[in-house]
Amino acid sequence: MGSGMNFSIVRRNMVERQLKARGISDPRVLEAMLRLPRHLFVEEALRSQAYSDFPLPIGEGQTISQPYIVALMTEALQLTGGEKVLEIGTGSGYQAAVLSCLAAQVFSIERNSALARKARSVLDANGFGNISVRVGDGSLGWEAEAPFDAIMVTAGAPAVVEEIKRQLGLGGRLVMPVGSFREQVLKRIVRRGDTDFQETNLTACRFVPLRGRHGWQDVPSR
Ligand code: SAM
């Protein structure tokens, strides 16, 4: 396989079998993931697996999330097109690209400068003009650009981060994995008022750890 692969066919299969079959129903999310060339966000040797039902390595010990998790988290943000969105953990840039098809402006923050550089070059080369990528500690959010209509954290945190919650506008949605170093629960939090946040659990999940001030400080030994 590899270069001879028909990516539009495997992408359609991904949408039908991994997303629709598991209950993803927002037509805008399905359409974005049907159109977006996810294979461009992984290294050449892994392109034939880019639409498979699992995460893939992207270098620096990090991963691009499983397509279903990308869809589930995106759907939970309930984007309609005009929103200002923050993503914490740019990684490959694929999730930012999905968000950029569904919202007006995307701000994405990555602590690893090599990954941020790579993501920015793929996004620029493919004409994603409404995404700003910055290197920094996303566990602090992106205060200068707050408030956001939606925030997505794509790394697992030990607890819900108050500083990030406070960067939501009224009615804003936050999706983030929270739990232990190895297993988390995907939480959806909606800001109902100044200090009123409604929290629901979506599913069990496994993300790489969120680092930084409000993330994991030390790696537990295996
Ligand atoms: N959303 C990414 C994609 O579409 O490829 C996948 C993200 S990967 C599962 C998690 C990312 O979070 C890694 O790239 C990691 O370097 C980053 N990360 C971890 N802690 C961070 C922090 N405090 N601030 C910003 N990025 C962080």
Q: Which residues are known catalytic residues? A: 65
Q: Which atom of ligand 1 is nearest to the CA of 55?
A: 9
CA distance 71 to 65: 10
Q: How far is the CA of 4 from the centre of ligand 1 (A)?
A: 31
Mutate to test the pocket of ligand 1, among 60, 77, 88, 109 (most ligand atoms within 8 A of CB): 88
Task: List the pLDDT tens digit at each of the 222 positions of the chain.
Answer: 445 689 999 999 999 999 999 999 999 999 999 999 999 999 999 999 999 999 999 999 999 999 999 999 999 999 999 999 999 999 999 999 999 999 999 999 999 999 999 999 999 999 999 999 999 999 999 999 999 999 999 999 999 999 999 999 999 999 999 999 999 999 999 999 999 999 999 999 999 999 999 999 865 544
Q: Which residues pair with 172 in a beta bridge?
A: none
CB atoms within 10 A of CB 52: 14
Name, in order, each residue with C-beta under 8 angstroms of 108's C-beta and a sequence gap of 6 or more.
86, 87, 88, 90, 93, 96, 119, 131, 132, 133, 134
Q: What is the signed CA dihedral for 151, 49, 124, 137, rounded to 10 degrees?
A: 40
For residue 205, the SS3 value is strand
- Answer yes or no: is the C-beta of 212 below 6 A from any ligand 1 atom: yes
Q: What CATH superfamily is the domain 7-205? A: Vaccinia Virus protein VP39 (3.40.50.150)
Give the start-to-end residue ranges of the domains of the chain.
Answer: 7-205
Question: Is there a contact between 152 and 83 (Cβ–Cβ < 8 Å)?
Answer: no
- Answer yes or no: is the C-beta of 111 below 6 A from any ligand 1 atom: yes
- Answer yes or no: is the C-beta of 94 below 6 A from any ligand 1 atom: yes
